[in-house]
């Protein structure tokens, strides 16, 4: 199967990354538990809008963008490696600001992401996959509408909600079981 996998919020822990750096840079005490909406930085920080947040994020990763030092979620890389070994094609679908493109490729290489196909784009519906995993409401809605024959999985996070036509998954073990069932036709 072609598996369209989002990075931030699914494989890479974007919120832990920005919260820890924000706390360090601004002597704050934010917690990732505070994040319950998509554009949380504007409501939780001193940034007046997301443009200000992204300006800070451009170099807050020790001179690199916020995306370079992110940590992977537990079991994410291992699960993707197992899916790759099982013969599935891992397709990375991620949206990034222009300043983070090189840092994203470095991150993928450092973490030995098992993929040969990476798309950095705003509209994930442009890439055909058999199954998608994402955490952004706008992407989930668009993928369900544009790819009705594909399986669309919502990686359940506090900042997203269920969508008709998508399947909620809580962890990588659930994703692995779902993919195994779909690829053998036993669902």
DSSP labels, 144-162: HHH-TTSEEEEE--TT---
Asked whether the beta carbons of 162 and 154 are under 8 A apart, the reply is yes
pTM, rounded to two decimals: 0.95
pLDDT, tens digit, 9 for 90 and up, residues 3-54? 999 999 999 999 999 999 999 999 999 999 999 999 899 999 999 999 999 9
Question: Would you say the C-alpha torsion 14, 16, 20, 23 has a positive or negative sign?
Answer: positive
Question: What are the structure tokens assigned to 44, written together?
Answer: 């939780």
Per-residue pLDDT, 186? 62
């Amino acid at each position: 199967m072609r598996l369209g996998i989002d990075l931030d919020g699914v494989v890479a822990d974007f919120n832990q990354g920005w919260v820890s750096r924000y706390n360090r840079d601004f002597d704050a005490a934010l917690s990732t538990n505070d994040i319950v909406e998509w554009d949380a930085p504007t409501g939780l920080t001193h940034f007046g809008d997301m443009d200000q947040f992204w300006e800070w994020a451009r170099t807050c990763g020790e001179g690199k963008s916020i995306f370079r030092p992110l940590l992977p979620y537990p079991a994410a890389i291992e699960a993707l490696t197992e899916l790759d070994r099982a013969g599935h094609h891992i397709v990375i679908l991620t949206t990034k600001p222009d300043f983070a493109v090189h840092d994203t490729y470095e991150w993928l290489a450092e973490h030995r992401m098992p993929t040969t196909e990476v798309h950095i784009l705003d509209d994930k519906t442009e890439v055909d996959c058999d199954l998608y995993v994402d955490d952004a409401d706008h992407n989930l809605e668009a993928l369900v509408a544009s790819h009705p024959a594909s399986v669309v999985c919502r990686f359940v996070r506090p900042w997203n909600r269920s969508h008709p036509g998508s399947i909620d998954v809580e962890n990588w073990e659930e994703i692995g079981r779902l993919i195994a069932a779909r690829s053998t036709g036993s669902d």
